[in-house]
Structure 1
């Protein structure tokens, strides 16, 4: 377990990327699996078969290429509230609130082990998948609350050439499947994974989460990956 102390009820930006910057999500099956792990590893109960078979559930809505809500076999109590997530080819971002002592540590250990076991078996490899221990930033100032949630959701913009306007950028983010932004935009998404209550209450004063995101995009010129909030 990490020695970092995560306080219950506080908000933390958690992120990690592949060893040697390698891609850790090679196809949609990988991304579906990680999302399923986000739900199934979020439990205080032991997960004794974290390498469980994934092929029993492809997590696709019938007649659609959109992911369906992950199947649920959770017992025990949740370790964390997942406020946001974004999957990129070689890294991921999470915004978490621990619900119990060592909640984040336990959740991230289960998540990393389960996904690495799956990835190595599926792609015929061995060894470490991620570059090392996940990184964390405590979101404790109001300006961090205003900045970090939008920064996390804006990451997929780096997968496209620069887009002309904030409105075009927002439309792209609404179409990006591997992010919780669709949940906040009212487009479905993953309600079994994402707890929107805290951020929706915070951004209600600014006209709602999506309106705040649009204003943030209009005011941001440089969307380079940064390890810590400004």
Structure 2
């Protein structure tokens, strides 16, 4: 079966996941991590993509972004991949691919699922046992949203501005959010969608887009369809 094209809509937030080939490390040291962020900043600026949140894990990355144009996200990721992988291979005396095939992307309905997606991303190192709290991880956007440092890569989404009228109010609200784990059902839902590449939408928005774009908004059930008994 042909692979369905990514669903990317201009002006809407998207959760991006990209993993290392065979789950191999994509960062060897902090110099690699900084090089990736530098390349990400340049690629997104060049192709009109706003970065709202990110986390750099040892063998994969998560981004929360909004492209100005539908094809801007793919172009930005292609530019990022070329620049980062070339530098990584040069530094470490290697050649060949670094990433596992295509990056995955999930359209996120804002504001409904925006905060949960950002929380999922910034709490990832804590869930993985790399740090005690999300704020302790140096290579994510958490410190920026908590007011610990200013990250020039980050462009706040309107859904984040809605957390409070002042930076102090927004930082305090976000500190409380990161201090609490995501509800298990919501965490499971986020994982399914980001790994499956299906949009995370309300039923009403999913139905609207399915009709408008003439494409499914969720995976079909696996296996044979159920046989329904014929009424007497």
Long gaps (5+) in structure 2 = 195-199, 201-232
2:53·2:63 contact (CA, 8 Å) conserved in 1? yes
Q: Where does 1:1-230 land on structure 2 (aligned, <5 Å)?
A: 3-44=5-46, 78-140=47-109, 142-160=111-129, 169=133, 173-191=134-152, 193-204=153-164, 208=170, 210-212=172-174, 214-215=176-177, 217-220=179-182, 226-228=191-193
Alignment partner, residue 212 of structure 2: none
State the SS of the aligned residue for 1:203. Answer: coil
In structure 1, C-alpha distance between the alignment counterparts of 2:37 and 2:131, rounded to whole Å: 28
Instruction: Kindly indicate whether structure 1 or structure 2 has the higher relative contact order, using CA contacts under 8 Å at least 6 residues apart.
Output: 1
Q: Which one has a bigger Cα radius of gyration? A: 2
Question: When the two structures are superposed, what TM-score results if normalisation uses the length of structure 1?
Answer: 0.71
RMSD: 2.7
Change (3 A) 1:227 1:37: farther
**Structure 1 residue matching 2:115: 3-state secondary structure:** helix
What 5-or-longer segments of structure 1 have no aligned partner? Answer: 45-77, 164-168
Q: Tell me how many residue pairs correspond in the alignment.
A: 186
Question: C-alpha distance in 1, partners of 2:52/2:111?
Answer: 16
Mapped to 2, the partners of 1:213 and 1:187 lie a distance apart of 11
- Taking a change above 3 Å as real, the CA distance of residues 84 and 162 of structure 1, as seen in their structure-2 partners, is closer
Could you give the per-residue CA deviations for residues 143-166 of structure 1, whole angstroms, max 9, x where no partner exists? 422311100000111443795xxx
Contact 2:147 2:171 in 1 (8 A): no
